[in-house]
Structure 1
Amino acid sequence: MTDTPAVRPHVSFEVETTVPTTHGTFTMRAYRDLDTGADHVAIVSGEPVDGALVRVHSECLTGEAFGSLKCECGPQLDAALDTIHNHGGVVIYLRGHEGRGIGLINKLRAYRLQEDGLDTLDANLALGLPADAREYIAAAEILRDLGLSSIRLLSNNPDKKDQLTAHDIEVTEMVPLVVGVGAFNESYLDTKRDRMGHRLPGQLDTGFDPVA
């Protein structure tokens, strides 16, 4: 009879600290991704319990640091942080996910192809890259480290739910996060809704009720 091999961890916890921000004061827990070497952060408000509201957010330098209007990532992060500050919950910030996992340079290459008329999905494919290369096993392990096995997911992307579920995180509800819609990203959001299955009810920048 052979022993069952130990499951190899995909993240390691590194440090916890308290950080005051313009959105409120949060507990931040940093993790090292043992597969990619990226550093991820769990931004926590209150005591996480099963059923907590969770945003799994992909790094977006162009939208968050530079204020790009080609996506809604900056407003989504701001809204998520405001929400967990007000109601409790967690934002897991995943680095190395730029451009749905293709990296910053390829993301800008895809932007250039979009100027020639390709949509966000076809631009990636024209570069020989996947439409979405992101994986969420690190996020699932971070959630388990926080003691969470069941969450309400603040997201429009059903793939996040499917991947988290596959990694034994129960998603009891998907809470839509429709903010930051404007003239420069309407076609981008249309493509995410119509070709990538994102749930974008009305695409109205009217906010949302995370505690409904």
Structure 2
Amino acid sequence: MIAQPPIMMKSGSTIRQKVPIPVLDGYVTGMFYSFYGLPDGKEHFLVELGPKNTAKAPLVRLHSECMTGDVFGSQRCDCGPQLRESLFRINSEGGYLLYLRQEGRGIGLYSKLDAYHLQGQGMDTYEANRQLSFDDDLRDYSAAAAMLKALDVMQIRLLSNNPDKAAQLTANGITVTERVQTGTYQSAHNRGYLQAKVRRAQHTINNLK
């Protein structure tokens, strides 16, 4: 399909294309948006789900790509369950899921697998990143803010346990009226990973054992 001409909005980024796609085995249909002019030039996309609700700000999830968790159901993280929960909750309440192409907190898939190898030797996820000469978290959410602005969405309720997402969106001109926690998806394989996120990055995760 040839992309439609860009739809100009109040942002430097513009809508490139939008197309409805049935997801979750056809349980819901999301409107998928691609964009021109995102700050980092990556192919991030946004999925609009659920009813329009003018009574309160839309529910929004910034979900960083996780090939191992989202596609293969890896138990080393909680990404796959969080993605599925987000799709259902946003479809129920109305809002947007932004799928951001920044694998492994921004270090890329191959380096994430290297970090997994180091974690198998006893390092936590942040120690492994540092051993590979990366910062704890390289993710930049300015593209997420640009995507929301392209849809003229300036106020949101953020579905996240990560305070850095709210802080970066706020710094980029998006008002976060509420931060809504996701569920806790703990297993024997990801307990240390979740504990490290709480200890080192102040994630809000309830009922960790």
TM-score (norm 1): 0.87
C-alpha displacement of 1:203: 3.5
Residue type matched to 1:71 in 2?
A: C
Give yes or no for contact 2:115–2:125 (8 Å, CA) kept in 1.
yes
**Structure 1 residues without counterparts, runs of 5 or longer:** 1-6, 205-212
* Identical positions, percent: 42
Residue type matched to 1:118 in 2?
A: M
Residue type matched to 1:189 in 2?
A: L
2:41 is aligned to 37
Offset from partner CA, 1:75-125 (integer Å, 9 cap, x none): 000000011111211101111x10000000110000000011000000000
C-alpha displacement of 1:65: 0.9
Give yes or no for contact 1:81–1:91 (8 Å, CA) kept in 2.
yes
C-alpha displacement of 1:47: 3.1
TM-score (norm 2): 0.88
User: For 1:125-164, what aligned pairs fall within 5 Å after superposition?
Assistant: 125-164=130-169
Residue type matched to 2:29 in 1?
A: T
Question: Counterparts of 1:56 and 1:203 in 2: how far apart (Å)?
Answer: 22
Q: How large is the Cα RMSD of the aligned pairs?
A: 1.8
What secondary structure does 2:88 align onto?
A: helix
Give yes or no for contact 1:154–1:176 (8 Å, CA) kept in 2.
yes
Residue type matched to 1:29 in 2?
A: Y
2:23 is aligned to 21
User: For 1:1-212, what aligned pairs fall within 5 Å after superposition?
Assistant: 9=12, 11-22=13-24, 23-32=27-36, 34-45=38-49, 46-47=51-52, 51-95=57-101, 97-203=102-208
Question: Counterparts of 2:183 and 2:197 in 1: how far apart (Å)?
Answer: 12
Give yes or no for contact 1:33–1:40 (8 Å, CA) kept in 2.
no
Question: Counterparts of 2:123 and 2:29 in 1: how far apart (Å)?
Answer: 41
What secondary structure does 1:39 align onto?
A: coil
**Structure 2 residues without counterparts, runs of 5 or longer:** 1-9
C-alpha displacement of 1:13: 2.2
